[in-house]
Structure 1
């Protein structure tokens, strides 16, 4: 969910995404319509830097 300015925050711990070959999570952003059922847009998968 975004706030009134369209901003959002994603919080996670390193343990939640721990894999031997990865040091961080990958991010994909999806935008849904107001009712949450229609996918309006989707980003490419992007690796997050530490």
Structure 2
């Protein structure tokens, strides 16, 4: 679950962790891969909104 009160550094670290997890997935159509991808997208959007 995304915590909106996270600092920017925490968000960027979480993005890198999720990217790493996504890169290790072998089944790109699996539910775990989709969950990771959606979570990653949400975090990226939060960071983009912060940058205005």
| Structure with larger Rg | 1
Between structures 1 and 2, the one with greater strand share: 1
**TM-score, structure 2 length as denominator?**
0.22
Higher relative contact order (CA 8 A, sep 6+): 2
